[in-house]
């Protein structure tokens, strides 16, 4: 039996969060789609550093999946997730039914302009509308002081920051560093789809990104050259099929041709049927250290 409260209705969340707030606690929120791995749990730990009480949602949001994407087959491991959240010290889990978030008659869609046209937005039409809409709903229900999002989904983080700014939500958005496997692969709920050979070759993503970051630290500022170097390293893995590889501004997601400050090198690639994303910040002003 789990001791962490598992809340399923809006009323239960409001009551629990309301009690915390009445006793003077600050509230942290971590939205997830479950199938939790240590990367997710690092977000919860970070939230606990910034808030007195932390609530984590587990909700596979239908609105952010395209018609040919993996909504139906997305891993659902709720029991296991709740145990992990209890161990890491989260104070409550919000596990809503599909209709609790999108009740009959739900008619709102949040569209964040401009920064959703590039990178993943280009290949997943409507994805960020689904993300922004569900986050706006969650923010309205939970009304947290802070919310933590992973830098692995850098475009998502930028979209949420922009939405919060534009809508004047009184929430501080905190970005958590990318949590990686020992061999560099960014942790993802979708890594479990990879066949062993694909899993091995997927490490090329971080190798490619790191090579570009090294060159940037040594002074290379030409985005075309940096992307080409990363591409060559990644494509040494024959199973890698790159969808995009681009350097963008971290806040606007606009393409950058020359680095005159930190830029985000972002990549999406297929390994077999599995689409992975990763990114690294290139900082030409950071000093490069040989190991």
If one asks whether residue 43 binds ligand AMP (CB under 6 A), the answer comes out as: yes
Q: Looking at 16, 29, 40, 199, which residue binds ligand AMP (CB under 6 A)?
A: 40
In the complex, the smallest distance separating the C-beta of residue 176 from ligand AMP, rounded to whole angstroms, is: 5
Tell me the window of 94-102, 106-114, 173-181, 221-229 that interacts with ligand AMP (CB under 6 A): 173-181
Closer of 27 and 159 to ligand AMP (Cβ): 159
Q: Looking at 112, 158, 171, 176, which residue binds ligand AMP (CB under 6 A)?
A: 176
Q: Looking at 153, 198, 246, 278, which residue binds ligand AMP (CB under 6 A)?
A: 153
In the complex, the smallest distance separating the C-beta of residue 267 from ligand AMP, rounded to whole angstroms, is: 14
If you search the block for the tokens 């570009």, which residue do you land on? 212
For residues 85, 154, 33, 145, the Cα torsion angle rounded to the nearest 10 degrees is 60
Q: Looking at 118, 189, 250, 279, which residue binds ligand AMP (CB under 6 A)?
A: 189
Q: Which residues bind ligand AMP (CB under 6 A)?
A: 32-33, 39-40, 43, 149-150, 152-153, 176, 178-179, 186-189
């Amino acid at each position: 039996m789990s001791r962490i409260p598992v809340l399923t209705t809006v009323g239960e969340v409001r009551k629990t969060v309301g009690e915390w707030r009445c006793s003077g606690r600050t509230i942290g929120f971590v939205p997830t789609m479950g199938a939790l791995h240590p990367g997710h749990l690092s977000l919860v730990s970070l939230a606990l550093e910034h808030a007195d009480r932390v609530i984590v949602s587990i909700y596979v949001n239908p609105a952010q999946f395209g018609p040919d994407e993996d909504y139906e087959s997305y891993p659902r491991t709720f029991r296991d997730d709740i145990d992990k959240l209890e161990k890491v010290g989260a104070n409550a889990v919000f596990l809503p039914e599909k209709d609790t978030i999108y009740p009959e008659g739900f008619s709102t869609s949040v569209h964040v302009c401009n920064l959703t046209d590039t990178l993943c937005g280009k290949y997943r039409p409507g994805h960020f509308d689904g993300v922004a809409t569900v986050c706006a709903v969650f923010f309205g229900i939970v009304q947290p002081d802070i919310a933590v999002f992973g830098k692995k989904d850098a475009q998502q983080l930028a979209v949420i920051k922009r939405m919060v700014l534009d809508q004047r939500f009184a929430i501080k958005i905190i970005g958590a560093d990318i949590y990686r496997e020992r061999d560099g692969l960014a942790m993802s709920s979708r890594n479990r789809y990879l066949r062993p050979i694909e899993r091995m070759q997927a490490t090329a993503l971080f190798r490619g990104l790191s090579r570009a970051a090294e060159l940037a630290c040594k002074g290379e500022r030409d985005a075309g050259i940096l992307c080409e170097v990363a591409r060559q390293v990644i494509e040494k893995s024959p199973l890698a099929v790159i969808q995009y590889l681009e350097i963008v501004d971290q806040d606007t997601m606009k393409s950058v041709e020359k680095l005159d400050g930190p830029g985000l090198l972002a990549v999406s690639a297929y390994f077999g049927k599995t689409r992975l994303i990763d990114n690294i910040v290139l900082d030409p002003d950071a000093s490069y250290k040989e190991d």
